[in-house]
């Protein structure tokens, strides 16, 4: 398109306004394309990096991710980095993948970083970004963030607190004379922390708590069989038991279950009678909303570290039926049912 032609056409004796308007329109779009090549458009101004301690396909991690993505959709460009430290527990691996996350942060330069669960807090934020210029929002840190020294000047978040006390209050209503219980879980750092919380809570109820932290499925099943000698069993997470066979475990415990079993993990409900469980989406949604507030200009120091507030009630009718344990109808009606 010769732009000068448009101006010369005014001076021609056969000047036609319609033809001029057509040429002017064509020139207009030509200029837009020309300048667009110099100034490429970006879809979104802000970049949000999400660092998950675990892997996609792990129920808790997927729930947190869903909460983050649905909240940030259309508001921030999201990139995700999975540390995969649930399946890889070696401290040297965790340090290595934490450094890989740092390299991504330094190269991509996100406006804000959201992390999920303890290992990202320890091996990324604490290890590399204390009081850094980049703001960090953590979620899913178990019970307290004190061990990481949070908050920093650039860090706030939501801690993950299991509804232990409401669950135990319900157990006391169901088994008023309970004196001894057992905790069954995987032999992992997270499970040791969860066990310590139950020990503290039950000590206030004058209930003795034994524990069995298993490394294999057979260890777990042997502990479950022994649990039938107790007033009730607390079922921790199986995450970390690599040879877990869901169908085999369900078939085995269905013939053994005689005492009430309880849990704080929804993914353990196929093996448990009653559960009060955390809501992973709450963690992700809160962290994402906090991130958007900071991107809108709120100072990170104005956002306090908070615990989660929500929980779901679950019941497993199949296990309850085979054990001849009857829960109050009102509790069952308002609960989610294991499918």
Instruction: Say which CATH number the domain at 87 has.
Output: 3.40.50.2300
Closest CA to 198 of 225, 222, 165, 227: 165
Domain match, 156 and 252 both: no
Domain match, 58 and 154 both: yes
Q: Residue-wise pLDDT tens for the chain (339 aa)?
A: 443 433 344 344 444 443 434 443 344 333 333 444 343 434 457 999 999 999 999 989 999 999 999 999 999 999 999 999 989 989 999 999 999 999 999 999 999 999 999 999 999 999 999 999 999 999 999 889 999 999 999 999 999 999 999 999 999 999 999 999 999 999 988 899 899 999 999 998 889 999 999 999 999 999 999 999 999 999 999 988 999 999 999 999 999 999 999 999 999 999 999 999 999 999 999 999 999 999 999 999 999 999 999 999 999 999 999 999 999 999 999 999 986
Q: How many domains does the chain have?
A: 3
Domain match, 171 and 136 both: no
Domain match, 92 and 148 both: yes
Who contacts 117 (Cβ-Cβ below 8 Å, separation ≥6)? Answer: 52, 53, 54, 60, 61, 64, 139, 140, 141, 142, 160
Q: What is the pLDDT of residue 97?
A: 98
Angle at alpha carbon of residue 235, lines to 262 and 286, rounded to 5°: 80
Domain match, 153 and 189 both: no
Q: Which three-class secondary structure string do you get for the chain? A: CCHHHHHHHHHCCCCCHHHHHHHHHHHHHHHHHHHHHHCCCCCCCCEEEEEECCCCCCHHHHHHHHHHHHHHCCCCEEEEEECCCCCCCCHHHHHHHHHHHHHHHHHHCCCEEEEECHHHHHHHHHHHCCCCCCCEEEEEEECCCHHHCCCCCCEEEEEECCCHHHHHHHHHHHCCCCCEEEEEEECCHHHHHHHHHHHHHHHCCCCEEEEEEECCHHHHHHHHHHHCCCCEEEECCCCCCCCCCHHHHHHHHHCCCCCEEEECCHHHHHHCCEEEECCHHHHHHHHHHHHHHHHCCCCHHHCCCEECCCCEEEECHHHHHHHCCCCCHHHHHCCEECC
pTM of the model: 0.75
CA dist., res. 19 & res. 24, Å (int)? 9
Domain match, 257 and 292 both: no
Cβ-based burial of 186 (10 A; exposed 0-12, middle 13-18, buried ≥19): buried
Domain match, 62 and 30 both: no
Residue positions counted in the chain: 339
Domain match, 183 and 302 both: no
Domain match, 178 and 148 both: no
Q: What is the pLDDT of residue 189?
A: 81
Print the domain residue range for 78: 47-161+280-307
Q: What is the pLDDT of residue 339?
A: 67
Domain match, 203 and 329 both: yes
Q: What is the pLDDT of residue 40?
A: 42
Q: What is the pLDDT of residue 27?
A: 43
Tell me the β-bridge partners of 306: 158
Angle at alpha carbon of residue 279, lines to 282 and 126, rounded to 5°: 65
Domain match, 323 and 225 both: yes
Asked whether 160 and 147 are in contact (CB, 8 A), the reply is no
Domain match, 101 and 172 both: no
């Amino acid at each position: 398109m010769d732009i000068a032609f448009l101006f010369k056409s005014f001076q021609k004796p056969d000047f036609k306004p319609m033809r001029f308007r057509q040429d002017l329109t064509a020139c207009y779009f030509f200029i837009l394309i020309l300048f667009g090549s110099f100034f490429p458009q970006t879809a979104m101004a802000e970049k949000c990096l999400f660092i998950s301690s675990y892997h996609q396909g792990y129920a808790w991690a997927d729930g947190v991710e869903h909460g983050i993505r649905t909240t940030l959709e259309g508001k921030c460009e999201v990139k995700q980095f999975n540390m995969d430290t649930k399946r890889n527990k070696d401290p040297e691996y965790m340090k290595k993948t934490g450094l890989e996350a740092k390299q991504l942060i330094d190269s991509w330069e996100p406006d804000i970083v959201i992390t999920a669960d303890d290992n990202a807090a320890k091996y990324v934020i604490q290890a590399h970004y204390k009081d850094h210029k980049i703001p960090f929002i953590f979620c899913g840190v178990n019970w307290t963030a004190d061990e990481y020294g949070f908050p920093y000047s650039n860090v706030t978040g939501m801690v993950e607190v299991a509804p232990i006390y409401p669950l135990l209050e319900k157990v006391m209503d169901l088994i008023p004379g309970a004196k001894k219980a057992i905790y069954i879980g995987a032999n992992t750092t997270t499970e040791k922390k969860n066990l310590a919380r139950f020990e503290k809570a039950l000590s206030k109820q004058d209930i003795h708590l034994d524990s069995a932290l298993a490394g294999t499925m057979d260890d777990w099943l042997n502990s479950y069989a022994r649990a039938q000698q107790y007033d009730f069993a607390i079922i921790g997470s199986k995450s970390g038991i690599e040879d877990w066979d869901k169908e085999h475990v369900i078939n085995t415990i269905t013939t053994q279950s005689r005492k009430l079993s309880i849990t704080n993990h929804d993914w353990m409900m196929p093996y448990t009678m009653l559960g009060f469980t955390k809501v992973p989406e709450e963690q992700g949604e809160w962290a994402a909303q906090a991130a958007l507030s900071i991107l809108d200009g709120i100072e990170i120091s104005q956002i306090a570290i908070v615990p989660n507030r929500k929980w779901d009630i679950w019941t497993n009718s199949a296990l309850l039926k085979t054990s001849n344990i009857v829960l109050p109808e009102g509790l069952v009606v308002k609960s989610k049912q294991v499918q």
